[in-house]
């Protein structure tokens, strides 16, 4: 009898694992001191909160499943549960339970043994996070190299090809031919520059190195500068860019992010517009925000792609009406930057009849 009392006293006072019983309505009916040490709370606090209410939401379905199996007389395998203690600390227990029966053979509850594995779980989660970060970095590197190998090669081939032609034929070239070659070099240079900018913005964004720095900006002036930088590409297709906004509209935003968004959206409008067409750009002031609309009458977007084009998982690069190439990263960058400043981006389009891209900037 003395030995049994000593064992019982050890279980109550000294055991480091939690030994407990739970009733069918999820109340703790017995516990040893270990539960108070792990939960850093008295049993009164734990009982007040209820065992099942302390469990983190994502583990409650598992608890219900185990409870059902226990009522059926099954002995569940070892499992893990996360708990938010009464003081708000997150702890993880590795548990095993077995049904408890009354004198008539009916299940009256369960007996459980639980071991604190919080440190182990934290280490596992950190390792998993590090592994994911490493996989993400490898993905960035592979994408980076793929774009350099494919999308950036074409414009540089054109640059080298036409500059070689000019050097070889310089003395015999007439003015008309020289202008043609220089135009090709200029367009290719701008394409390569825009591709490289997108690539660098995307790689920084993926590496979480881009931060939002709002400042007061004259968006009318910023828009005019972006349009001027893209004017040659528009002129090559005889595309007119119509400005439907006032001369001085001031907003609060990150100027570098805003320039990237405008460069991509207006550049795309030019890229996918037909020759001899128009692009309309307007700024609409609303009560709580400014909305910038960029309308073109180009090739448009297929209906099934309208909800996908801003998604990180949607990986497609379309060729423009003048065989312009792209990385497929522009709209993803736009979505991320606009989200960072608390705005949103959307599109209306009919395949074959142009697109209207819009984004908002909160006041």
Q: Indicate whether 31 and 46 sit together in one domain.
A: yes
The pLDDT-based confidence of 149 (bands split at 50, 70, 90) is low
CATH of the domain at 160: 1.10.287.130
Containing domain of residue 256, as a range? 211-363
The pLDDT-based confidence of 57 (bands split at 50, 70, 90) is confident
CATH of the domain at 258: 3.30.565.10
Instruction: Report pLDDT for 347.
Output: 93
Burial of 107 (0-12, 13-18, 19+ CB in 10 A): middle
What is the chain's Cα-based Rg?
Answer: 32
Burial of 72 (0-12, 13-18, 19+ CB in 10 A): exposed
* Between 70 and 259, the higher pLDDT residue: 259
The DSSP annotation for 127-188 comes to HHHHHHHHHHHHHHHHHHHHHHHHTTHHHHHHHHHHHHHHHHHTTT--HHHHHHHHHHHHHH
The answer to whether position 358 is within a domain reads yes
Q: Indicate whether 98 and 226 sit together in one domain.
A: no
The answer to whether position 121 is within a domain reads no
Q: In this structure, what token pair is assigned to residue 312?
A: 């990180």
Domain total of the chain: 3
Q: Indicate whether 268 and 175 sit together in one domain.
A: no
Smallest Cα–Cα separation from 258: which of 220, 231, 286, 288? 220
The answer to whether position 239 is within a domain reads yes
* Between 63 and 114, the higher pLDDT residue: 114
- Final residue before a domain boundary, out of 151, 178, 208: 208
Q: What CA–CA distances, in Å, run from 218 to 223, 224, 246, 258?
A: 9, 10, 11, 11
Instruction: Report pLDDT for 1.
Output: 47
Instruction: Report pLDDT for 60.
Output: 78
Q: Indicate whether 232 and 363 sit together in one domain.
A: yes
Instruction: Report pLDDT for 239.
Output: 93
Q: Which residue has the tokens 């460069």?
A: 263
The answer to whether position 52 is within a domain reads yes
Q: Indicate whether 202 and 292 sit together in one domain.
A: no
Q: Indicate whether 334 and 231 sit together in one domain.
A: yes
Cα 232 versus chain centre, distance = 34
Instruction: Report pLDDT for 52.
Output: 65
The pLDDT-based confidence of 344 (bands split at 50, 70, 90) is very high
- Final residue before a domain boundary, out of 192, 208, 224: 208
How far apart CA 311 and CA 325 sit, in angstroms, is 20
Query: What residues are paired with 278 via a beta bridge?
Result: 240
Q: Indicate whether 243 and 197 sit together in one domain.
A: no
Q: Which residue has the tokens 């090739």?
A: 299
Residue 332: pLDDT above 80? yes
Q: Indicate whether 181 and 224 sit together in one domain.
A: no
Q: Indicate whether 155 and 248 sit together in one domain.
A: no
How far apart CA 44 and CA 54 sit, in angstroms, is 13
The answer to whether position 124 is within a domain reads no
- Final residue before a domain boundary, out of 94, 116, 138: 116
Mean pLDDT of the chain: 81
Confirm if 27 and 20 have CB atoms less than 8 A apart: no
**Distant-in-sequence, close-in-space partners of 109: CB < 8 Å, separation ≥ 6:** 21, 22, 23, 24, 29, 99, 100
The answer to whether position 122 is within a domain reads no
How far apart CA 55 and CA 83 sit, in angstroms, is 4
Phi/psi zone of residue 328: left (φ > 0), alpha (ψ -120 to 50 degrees), beta? Answer: left
Q: In this structure, what token pair is assigned to residue 182?
A: 């220089």
The pLDDT-based confidence of 50 (bands split at 50, 70, 90) is low
218-243 confidence digits (pLDDT tens): 999 999 988 988 887 888 899 999 99
Q: Indicate whether 245 and 319 sit together in one domain.
A: yes
280-310 confidence digits (pLDDT tens): 999 999 999 999 999 999 999 888 888 788 8
The answer to whether position 33 is within a domain reads yes
Q: Indicate whether 236 and 327 sit together in one domain.
A: yes
79-113 confidence digits (pLDDT tens): 888 888 877 788 898 888 888 888 888 888 888 88
Q: Indicate whether 10 and 68 sit together in one domain.
A: yes
**Distant-in-sequence, close-in-space partners of 219: CB < 8 Å, separation ≥ 6:** 249, 250, 251, 253, 258, 283, 290, 292, 361
CATH of the domain at 76: 3.30.450.20
How far apart CA 254 and CA 215 sit, in angstroms, is 6
In percent, the amount of the chain with pLDDT more than 90 equals 20
3-state secondary structure 12-79: HHCCCCEEEEEECCCCEEEECCHHHHHHCCCHHHHHHHCHHHHECHHHHHHHHHHHHHHHCCCCCCCE
Looking at residue 345, the DSSP 8-state letter turns out to be: E
175-200 confidence digits (pLDDT tens): 888 888 887 787 777 777 777 776 67
The answer to whether position 123 is within a domain reads no
How far apart CA 308 and CA 63 sit, in angstroms, is 37
């Amino acid at each position: 009898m003395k030995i049994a009392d000593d064992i019982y006293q050890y279980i109550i006072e000294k055991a480091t694992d939690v030994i407990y019983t739970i009733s069918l309505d999820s109340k703790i009916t017995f516990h040893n001191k270990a539960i108070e040490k792990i939960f850093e709370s008295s049993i009164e606090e734990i009982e007040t909160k209820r065992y099942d209410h302390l469990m983190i939401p994502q583990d409650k379905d598992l608890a219900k499943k185990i409870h059902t199996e226990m009522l059926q007389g099954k002995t569940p395998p070892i499992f893990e549960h996360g708990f938010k203690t009464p003081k708000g600390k997150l702890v993880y227990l590795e548990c095993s339970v077995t049904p408890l029966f009354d004198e008539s053979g009916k299940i009256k509850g369960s007996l459980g043994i639980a071991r604190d594995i919080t440190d182990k779980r934290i280490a596992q989660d950190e390792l998993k996070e590090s592994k994911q970060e490493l996989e993400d970095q490898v993905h960035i590197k592979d994408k980076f190299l793929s774009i350099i190998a494919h999308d950036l090669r074409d414009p540089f081939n054109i640059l080298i090809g036409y500059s070689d032609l000019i050097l070889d034929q310089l003395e015999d070239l007439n003015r008309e031919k020289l202008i043609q070659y220089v135009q090709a070099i200029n367009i290719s240079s701008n394409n390569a520059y825009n591709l490289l900018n997108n690539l660098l913005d995307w790689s920084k964004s993926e590496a979480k190195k881009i931060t939002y720095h709002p400042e007061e900006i004259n968006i009318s002036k910023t828009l005019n500068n972006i349009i001027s930088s893209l004017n040659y590409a528009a002129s090559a297709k005889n595309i007119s860019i119509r400005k439907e906004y006032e001369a001085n509209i001031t907003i609060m935003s990150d100027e570098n992010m805003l320039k990237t968004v405008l460069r991509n959206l207006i550049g795309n409008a030019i890229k996918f517009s037909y020759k001899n067409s128009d692009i309309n750009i307007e700024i609409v002031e609303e009560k709580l925000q400014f909305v910038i609309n960029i309308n073109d009458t180009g090739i448009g977007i297929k209906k099934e792609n309208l909800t996908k084009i801003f998604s990180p998982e949607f990986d497609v690069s379309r060729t423009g009406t003048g065989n312009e190439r792209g990385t497929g990263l522009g709209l993803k960058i736009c979505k991320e930057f606009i989200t960072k400043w608390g705005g949103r981006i959307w599109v209306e389009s009919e395949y074959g009849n142009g697109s209207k891209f819009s984004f908002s900037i909160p006041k």
